[in-house]
A = this chain, B = another copy of it.
Amino acid sequence: MDSIVIVGIGLIGGSFAKGLKRLFPESRIIGFDKDENNLSEALQLGLIDEKGTDRTLNSANMVLLAIPVDALVNELPKILDNVSDDCLVLDAGSTKAAICQSVENHPKRRNFLACHPIAGTEFSGPSAAFDGLYDGKTNIICEVEKTAFKLQEKALELFQKLGMRIRYMNPEAHDKHIAYVSHLSHISSFMLGKTVIREEQNERDIFDMAGSGFESTVRLAKSSPDMWTPIFEQNKDNVVKSLEEYIKNLESFKQLMEENDFKGIHDQMNNTNRIKQILKGIPLTKTPK
């Protein structure tokens, strides 16, 4: 019987647990979480079969770390210290360079596969977890050549069964691109929320006048600061660069408006409209109601 350990049993870890339980009903899922309430809730919800103990890691066949990226760089080396030689260790961090560096010279580096499943919702905690979160989503794998061949194979088979498609990148390219397509979106959303909340002291006004377009653009501002602060910290240089370019584009839009160059404004929007074609390929997450 396979023993699968999940460290951090929130949306990401919990959804992984649900998928595994469906695929391998006979496996034993064991959870760790620094928040004892989360852990108890996960047990109650049936996401995990039991809570982990000191001796859990030793006998694990697979370990998934689904914790904030600052905790990840601290915990990953310790986890590797304690697992057996044929245990597969996976992460799900939104940054990859610092995480890969943290175990670069670890004697058990070959047990680890660096992953970033591009999946999630703006919700968090065990109750947000659902089976199907990973279906049709991309999983970005970094430094695949540093993982033992048998463990690569095991992981890929699992991802395939979960319905994921795989892309291979190096950690630096991952962190650069993800700053643009994910991290920047979160900042634009948080700051849009801040701008509107500050202007509209009387929140009823926001509520009454806001439509689904506003909801869509500020949705990510519901995200967890505990999860996102360390992501911005670890990917600081790329995020600051993307933010600079975003601000520059906003400034130039503002300038066109101030100069009454509405032909230019029209062009700006027209040129960006091709996002339609690009977006067609993005699988949307449908959370179960």
Interface residues of A (CB under 8 A from B): 118-122, 137-138, 140, 167, 177-178, 180-182, 184-200, 203, 205-223, 225-226, 228-230, 232-233, 236, 239-240, 242-247, 249-251, 253-254, 257-258, 260, 262, 265-266, 268-276, 278-279, 281-285
Contact = CB atoms under 8 A, between A and B. Distances in A.
Contacts of A188: 188, 192, 217, 250
A288 B195 CA distance: 32
Main secondary structure of the interface of A (DSSP, over half): helix
Contacts of A208: 138, 167
Given A232-B265, A242-B195, A257-B236, A213 B221 contact: no
A187 B260 CA distance: 16
A106 to B, nearest CB: 26
Listed from nearest, the 7 A-B pairs whose CB atoms lie closest are: A225-B269, A118-B211, A185-B217, A193-B275, A193-B272, A181-B210, A191-B249
Contacts of A192: 184-185, 188, 246
Contacts of A122: 213
A209 B177 contact: yes
Contacts of A217: 185, 188-189, 216-217, 219-220
Given A212-B285, A225-B273, A226-B266, 16 more contacts: A167-B208, A177-B200, A178-B209, A181-B206, A181-B209, A182-B214, A195-B249, A197-B274, A207-B282, A210-B282, A214-B282, A216-B217, A229-B262, A240-B254, A246-B250, A247-B247
A222 B285 CA distance: 19
25 contacts: A118-B210, A118-B211, A121-B212, A138-B211, A180-B196, A181-B200, A181-B211, A184-B192, A184-B195, A185-B214, A190-B268, A195-B242, A195-B249, A210-B279, A211-B285, A214-B282, A216-B217, A216-B220, A219-B279, A222-B279, A229-B269, A230-B262, A232-B262, A239-B257, A240-B258
